[in-house]
Amino acid sequence: MTEENKQFRTLVDQVTVVSPADVAQTKTTIQRTLASLPARPVQRHLRPWHIGVASALIALVLLTIGGIVNPTMNRALAQAPIVGQFFARFSDGDALSVVVQNNGRSERVHGQATVNGLTLTLESAYVEGQTVGIEGVATGVPAKKDDWFDVKLGTQAPASFETKSTEVRKLGKNRYYFALFGTLSVVDSRRIVYLPLTIDRFAGYRGPWQFSFKLTPSRSTTIALSGQAQLPNQTQLTLTQYTRYSGGTGLLTLQQSTPDGQSEISIRSIKPVPTGAELLLNANPLYLEGTKYGEQKTVVGYRIKQYPAGIKNLYITGDVDGRAYAVTIPVK
Amino acid sequence: MDIVTQHRLIRQAQKGNAAAFATLMVDAADYLTRTAYLYLADSHDVQDAISAATLAAFEALPQLKQPRYFRTWVTRILIRQCYRRYRIKAHEVFAQEAMPEPPADPNRLTSDEKIDLLAGLRGINQAHALTLMMHYYHGLSVKEISTLQEIPENTVKSNLRRGRQALRDWLGEDYLD
């Protein structure tokens, strides 16, 4: 914990005292809330390491057999760029990037800049729908002073590009992984994207490191949907369309209606069958068609994994102003 | 509650045992109440946020990979619920008032001084104060705050800078140096 954290915690701890009555009320609230739940079936989950071990074994068998019977395949594998090494660097929170990279849809980006011995190398990037992801590796970083970097975009960059998050993670001695995620407007997301960018400050060190590259958006197909569900507090969800991107993800577009624009509808889970795999990749919706948070009717897009063809329903759970809901919406 | 018992209860709760989960949450009731009051002023909102966080946490519990992070994980869920309610009611609850006098000795505060100091924290621009609270008190990263508040990371950093400056203006130039 830094000195700043300690100082601030001390200040806050000194001034926040809750009464025993409040704590007793909290205990009652928790017990009542959980008592109102229906019994939940026991679930068994496939852990990531199960998948990892199984994939590694299958790959080992295939490579061994392939190598024995097919020397050409061995040569091709030896020459292929090791893009796989980047897959694991994206964190769980950026599941969309993992899907896109696992589908081989991220592009290799070449760019390197060194300032005061600190080298930033861009490695891969993608445009999948309205989401943009860029990643690279920093070397020669003496010690991380903070965990972010500041980015400025050049004038050729799409005006709608909005930085959503950055990530800096240690890979080894003086080496850091970094990633930048942003969004584009629907119109800009359909064109080739030029991204001249300048990193002014990286992990507490001054730059600038300058890069310029272009990205080709994933191809997409869109189908219209209908189907709706009533939610708590007189709110409503209506499916409007589904767009599939070639990187393996999709955008599920819904219209949200609230009586006065005050209710907040959130979605925590989207599944093709109640006990099936989670499709939702990012619980933060994109606001579409010029609508904004707080309006009575909004059109929002949720980034999901592509759903299987021929599904009849989507099982959606979430909450409206803290009231949980679970609905089944027919996909027509 | 000892760590072994806590981890056993988490594993049971992850399999759908609501009673085990209730035990864990009730054990943290004091902490949860204090956390909710840092972001919300009204007791009904506090209880409502705790109820919603309890439901959300129970539903998402199978996704918790490291039981040792249970407290941190629940805290983030609760902060999210509090922030939603704060955003709806922000204009009703917090009137911007004149900052109270800073305490002479923050280590020896009377009850009245504590109330004044809390009012002082709340007197700082709310967006800045909430961001300070999330970052310096609850340890949320700039990225997490950006996602939670649905604002760009640069705005979060700017709110942190301005919040720190407001605290320095109020509590002294060397505060948070």
| Residue showing tokens 């605290």 | B167
How far is A107 from A279, CA to CA, in rounded Å?
24
- Angle among Cα A217, A220, A221 to the nearest 5 degrees reads 165
pLDDT per residue as tens digits for the range B31-43 = 899 888 888 877 8
Q: Which domains does chain B have, with CATH numbers?
A: 1-93 (1.10.1740.10), 96-177 (1.10.10.10)
Instruction: Provide the H-helix boundaries in chain A.
Output: 3-15, 20-35, 48-69, 71-79, 84-87, 95-102
| Token reading at A41 | 């079936």
Predicted local distance difference test score (pLDDT) of residue A35 = 75
pLDDT average, residue stretch A11-31:
79
- Domain final residue, candidates A215, A236, A268: A215
Lowest mean pLDDT among A183-187, A210-214, B160-164: B160-164
How far apart are the C-alpha atoms of A128 and A292, rounded to whole Å? 22
Task: Please give the torsion angle defined by the CA atoms of residues A138, A141, A146 and A151, in that order, rounded to the nearest 10 degrees.
Answer: -40
pTM of the model: 0.50
**Largest interatomic CA distance in chain B:** 52
Same domain (yes/no): A207, A229: no
- Which residue pairs from B39-46 have beta carbons closer than 8 angstroms and sit at least 24 positions apart in sequence? B39/B79, B39/B82, B39/B83, B39/B86, B39/B130, B39/B133, B40/B82, B40/B85, B40/B86, B40/B89, B40/B93, B41/B93, B41/B94, B41/B122, B42/B89, B42/B93, B43/A22, B43/A25, B45/B82, B45/B85, B45/B89, B46/A22, B46/A26, B46/B82
A70 assigned to some structural domain:
no
Length of chain A: 332
Residue pair B139/A157 in contact by the 8 Å Cβ criterion: no
Contact B150 A30 (CB under 8 A): no
Show the tokens assigned to B96: 């911007």
Residue at A75 is within a domain: no
Report which of residues A83 and A31 the model is more confident about: A31
Q: Which of A316, A25, A94, A3 is nearest to A326 (CA)?
A: A316
More confident residue, A17 or A119: A119
Closest to A14 (Cβ–Cβ): which among B48, B85, B114? B114
Q: How many helices (H) and strands (E) in chain B?
A: 9, 0
- Do A273 and A209 lie in one domain? The reply is no
Helix axes B18-27, B3-14, angle to 10 degrees: 140
Top pLDDT among A15 and A256 is at A256
Q: What is the pLDDT of residue A221?
A: 92
Domain limit, last residue, from A182, A215, A248:
A215
A250 part of a folded domain: yes
Q: With CB atoms and an 8 Å threshold, state whether B121 touches A15.
A: yes
Between these two residues, A262 and A270, which has the higher pLDDT value?
A270
Domain presence at residue A74: no
Same domain, A208 and A240: no
In a domain, A277, yes or no: yes
Token digits for A52? 């990892």
Please tell me whether residues A199 and A226 are part of one structural domain.
no
Q: How confident is the model at residue A223 (pLDDT cuts 50, 70, 90)?
A: very high
Higher pLDDT, B119 or A189: A189
Whether cis (ω within 30° of 0) applies to the bond prior to A208 is yes
Percent of chain A with pLDDT over 90: 25
Compute the distance between CA of residue A234 and CA of residue A190 in angstroms, rounded to an integer. Answer: 36
Co-location of A274 and A309 in the same domain: yes
Read off the CATH number of the domain in which A321 is found. 2.60.40
A224 with A290, same domain: the answer is: yes
Do A297 and A210 belong to one domain? no
User: Does the pLDDT at position B95 exceed 70?
Assistant: no
Domain residues for A110? 88-215
- Say if residue A290's pLDDT is above 60: yes
pLDDT level of residue A318 (50, 70, 90 thresholds): confident
CA distance A221 to chain B (A): 28
Which of A174, A199, A215 represents a domain boundary (last residue)? A215
- Give the CA distances from residue A92 to residues A12, A41, A96, A98, A105, in Å, rounded to whole numbers and listed in that order: 32, 26, 9, 8, 18
For residues A71 and A277, the answer to whether their CB atoms sit within 8 Å is: no
Which of these, A239, A125, A108, lies nearest to A180 by C-alpha position? A125
- Name the phi and psi angles at A275, rounded to 5: -105, 15
Does A201 share its domain with A267?
no
Q: A305 and A228, same structural domain?
A: yes
- Both A157 and A237 in one domain: the answer is no
In a domain, A47, yes or no: no
Residue A166's pLDDT is what? 74
- Chain A positions in Cβ-Cβ contact with residue B51 (cut-off 8 Å): 29-30, 32-33, 322
Angstroms from A63 CA to nearest CA on chain B = 32
Rounded to an integer, the average pLDDT of A273-286 is: 83
To which H or E segment does residue A249 belong? Answer: strand A249-257
Of A61-65, A135-139, B19-23, B51-55, least confident by mean pLDDT is A61-65
CA gap B16, B145 in Å, rounded: 30
> From the CA of B34, how many Å to the nearest CA of chain A?
6
Please give the residue of chain B at the shortest CA–CA distance from A47. B65
pLDDT digits (tens, 9 = 90+) for B60-69: 888 888 888 8
Which residue among A9, A18, A40 sits closest to B30, beta carbon to beta carbon?
Answer: A18
Question: Quick check: is A16 in a domain?
Answer: no
Cβ contacts of B133 within 8 Å, gap of 6 or more:
A12, B38, B39
- Is A165's CB within 8 Å of B46's CB? no
Quick check: is A124 in a domain? Answer: yes
3-state class (DSSP) for residue A139:
strand
The mean per-residue pLDDT over the stretch A167-174 comes to: 82
What confidence category does residue A74 fall into, taking pLDDT thresholds of 50, 70 and 90? very low
Answer yes or no: is the ipTM higher than 0.85.
Answer: no
Q: Do A257 and A296 contact (CB within 8 A), yes or no?
A: yes
- B138 vs B39: CA distance, rounded Å: 11
- What confidence score (pLDDT) does residue B112 get? 56
Q: Looking at the structure, do residues A226 and A208 belong to the same domain, yes or no? A: no
Q: Alpha-carbon distance A16 to B30, whole Å?
A: 11
Cβ contact (<8 Å) for A165 and B147?
yes
Q: How many domains does chain A have?
A: 2
pLDDT digits (tens, 9 = 90+) for B121-157: 656 677 787 888 888 888 888 888 888 887 888 888 8
C-alpha to C-alpha distances, A94 to A133, A243, A309, B154, nearest whole angstrom: 9, 19, 25, 19
**Which two structure tokens, joined as six digits, stand for B163?**
């919040």
Q: How far is CA A204 from the centre of its chain?
A: 25
Whether residues A177 and A250 fall in one domain: no
The CATH code of the domain that includes A211 is 2.60.40.1630
> A47 pLDDT band (50/70/90 cuts)?
very low
Query: CA–CA distance from A106 to each of A64, A149, A171, A235, A246 (Å)?
Result: 28, 22, 21, 38, 11
Best residue of A1, A30, A147, A275 to probe chain B, by most B CBs closer than 10 Å? A30
